[in-house]
Structure 1
Amino acid sequence: MLVIWLGRSFKIHFSEDIKETDLEVVFWNASHNRDFDDAFNINNSIPDVLVLVEDGVYNLEDFKLKYPKYYFHESIRGISIFSKTPLKILDEITSNHKTNIINFEVDGICFYAVDVSASMDVPRSWELSFVNEYIKIKEKTVLLGDFNIPFESKFLTNIKANFNHAFNKKGNGFRETWFWNIPLLSLDHIWVSKDLKILKTEKVNTWKSDHSMLKVFIAN
């Protein structure tokens, strides 16, 4: 069983050259205590697009003053978005059981930021059905977030049919993002539509959250 798990979870890929014109996209579950600056520091740079879920309390106006050339969005549903280029919010929706999705657009690419309810008394089948029904655009699209289910889950079948799993495609090491740098479960995912080219995927471990950070570079 250990050999099977290692074969499925541990990935080795050669990364491709990253150009300045390529898109760096980062996702992080901030565990209710962190903000944009924490994410920038952990990432060691400011990415092109950053999505935080379960972020801490912060003053958005302070970040707008500190980074006047960039774009921010703060949702009352606990999802925050940063972009170096103009950011267009298309829709925000919440399920009856507090699964949250923000649909936005950056540089002609459609994004779905997802935070699936972690409530133990809410069946994952309900919440992933909600997610699957909501994802309408499946070209030039990035789907990223805390899905609260591992890669192997049958509830990801529809997503797997239309998107490539960024870490499976171009990641190195263990795929699992939770918890506290121990590769237990792959709850956080970045999915990229099959018409977009994934150049490199990284998992960044940190003690500032019980979730690792994920980032992907996409040819733009």
Structure 2
Amino acid sequence: MRKYEWFTQKVDSRWGGTMIGFADARSRAEAYIATLRIDDVLIIEDAVTETADAWYFPYNGAAFLLHGDSSAALAGNVPIKVPKNGGEACFENPVPPEGVLSDRWCDQFQCVVERLGQSARVQRKYLQHWRVGVDELALEFGDLLLPHRLSLTDDQEEAAREIDRRLREMTDAPDIGQWSSIGLSDPRWVEIRRVARALLMSLRSGRPISDCR
């Protein structure tokens, strides 16, 4: 028995209802993708996430997933949620319970800061492993940069804002390949790494940013 089938049966017995299976949920996700009218999109099979009440199907351009063609990568795409009770599919990220979310937020932020501070070679390996575009580095950071969830000192927040500003400036600038894998060697990325490393050191040690540059 597949793990998805076992989990569905477990939920069925607990809720006492007839739930849809994984195969049906996947078909619904594919049908939902079809409504986007985007050619050659594939579900990322090994990244499907399951919770007690739904499956989440991430997806991206086929040429990007199969051949690494960054021009076919879809930026900022949110997984498709298919409820196990047969409800309508929608775009939604899986969200852990609020207590867990609060406990992990700072750790997750520190992880994305660490990724921004890594060398271009390490960043390329990370992006290739998860089959996502370079812009994912900026999207991850932007999603987690919420000061009310983070216990940042004034200078740490200032450094985080500087990273955010530099990323936005690259987004607004003419496209000369800064968001490609090769573009990770762009001097602007070098500066972002410098600030990110100082911020990471400060987050880990509690020292002022000025002592970490």
**Same fold judged by TM-score > 0.5?**
no
Higher-RCO chain (CA-CA 8 Å, sequence separation at least 6): 1
Normalised by the shorter chain, which TM-score bucket? under 0.3
Structure whose residues are more often strand by fraction: 1
Larger Rg: 2
Structure whose residues are more often helix by fraction: 2
Q: What TM-score do the two structures reach when normalised by structure 2?
A: 0.26
Q: What TM-score do the two structures reach when normalised by structure 1?
A: 0.25
